[in-house]
Structure 1
Amino acid sequence: MSKTLEHNFVEQLEANQNIVHKVCRLYTNNQDAHNDLFQEVVIQLWKAYPKFRGDSKFSTWMYRVALNTAITLYRKKKRRINTQEFESVEFKIKAEEYDDTEEQQLKLLYSAVKELNDIEKALVFLYLEDKNYKEISETMGISEVNARVKMSRIKTKLKTILNP
């Protein structure tokens, strides 16, 4: 690969690496597993980068590769990649913004999301990242209508889990 291609890749990766970290947090439960998954995602991104045509935003493409890598790894190993325990998540919030009610609601939401399958988790993750349905559909490789339908069903499923 050319130095220009390598430079562009590193620049894009550095600017968007939080995407990969967020996906790793979603599909792992400890730092070692997080690091392993992060490394695997970066390897897959590097391998696929020469074929990246720029039809979508780099960040959208990165979400797709990261989520597909995490889900594929899960399926290959045929074991569950544990999601991170809510209690071990560190939040950086200002003291004056602290609201115990909001924290309890988040804890319930994370608990409910843990009960979803990996594809549903990915959809919820993108939805909570404020991605619109067009971006979600591009990232997941499904139609926009299918993304809306799936998200509607997931919302219903989450309501059922949260309000039995």
Structure 2
Amino acid sequence: MNVDIDRDAFGALLQRHSGIVFKVANSYARHPEDRADLAQEIAAQLWRAWPKYDPSRSATTWMYRIALNVAISHVRTQSLRRRHDAVALDDADFDVADDNAADPEHEQQLRLLQGFIARQPPLERALLLLYLEERPQREIAEILGINESNVSTKIGRLKQRLRDEL
């Protein structure tokens, strides 16, 4: 295949689904500079994986799987660094961008939810991200490499933990 056509097709796909990259980066990186670096690393990994992409399969599933794998690796690397820094996740900076931002109660609920998500292990964080995106359980299972009943069980447990904490 012509490299320019391949590059253009990849660029169009990335542009069309750029929200995936940014949602994952925002969910897994605390600081704006880290988010930008993570988004760039996700895009680079997507480009590296592009030659093996099967167009008969869902582009969003493929992108989420790669983006989440990169993000989870990022979290693991950062976790090793944080052990030496002793920075608590509870002190995380969260950008709350929402149409209801003028409503302090709504803003507080969003902050509590984001804090809950940030405290979860990487797999559960990915599960919550996909669940909140209203992805079908079958797709979540495929992206995360677990079975559908496991997805359902984990979602139920996470909902209960969220109710207990909030």
Give the TM-score band, short-chain normalised: 0.7 to 0.9
- In the aligned structure 2, how far is the partner of 1:25 from the partner of 1:159? 23
Out of 142, 147, 155, the residue aligned to residue 159 of structure 2 is 155
- In the aligned structure 1, how far is the partner of 2:108 from the partner of 2:77? 35
Q: 1:92 to 1:113 in 2, by over 3 A?
A: closer
Q: Is this contact kept in 1: 2:96–2:107, CA < 8 A?
A: no
Aligned to 1:115: 119
- In the aligned structure 2, how far is the partner of 1:75 from the partner of 1:100? 34
Unaligned runs of at least 5 residues, structure 1: none
Deviation at 1:21, TM superposition (A): 0.7
Q: Is this contact kept in 1: 2:141–2:151, CA < 8 A?
A: yes
- Which amino acid letter does the alignment assign opposite residue 135 of structure 1? E
Q: Is this contact kept in 1: 2:116–2:162, CA < 8 A?
A: yes
Q: Is this contact kept in 2: 1:25–1:34, CA < 8 A?
A: yes
Q: Is this contact kept in 2: 1:113–1:158, CA < 8 A?
A: no
Indicate whether 1:93 and 2:94 are aligned. Answer: no
- In the aligned structure 2, how far is the partner of 1:106 from the partner of 1:74? 22
- In the aligned structure 2, how far is the partner of 1:161 from the partner of 1:66? 28
- Spell out structure 1 runs of 4+ moving beyond 6 A: none
In the alignment of these two chains, the number of paired residues is 158
Aligned to 1:143: 147
- Which amino acid letter does the alignment assign opposite residue 85 of structure 1? D
- In the aligned structure 1, how far is the partner of 2:3 from the partner of 2:111? 47
- In the aligned structure 2, how far is the partner of 1:61 from the partner of 1:141? 12
Instruction: State the percentage of identical aligned residues.
Output: 37
- In the aligned structure 2, how far is the partner of 1:94 from the partner of 1:114? 21
TM-score, with length taken from structure 1? 0.85
TM-score, with length taken from structure 2? 0.84
Deviations 1:35-88 (A, max 9, x none): 1111111111011111111353111211110010010122245345969523xx
- Which amino acid letter does the alignment assign opposite residue 157 of structure 1? R
- Which amino acid letter does the alignment assign opposite residue 10 of structure 1? G
- Which amino acid letter does the alignment assign opposite residue 109 of structure 2? Q
- In the aligned structure 2, how far is the partner of 1:101 from the partner of 1:70? 30
Deviations 1:90-139 (A, max 9, x none): 414278xx433322222222222222111111111111111121121121
Deviation at 1:32, TM superposition (A): 1.3
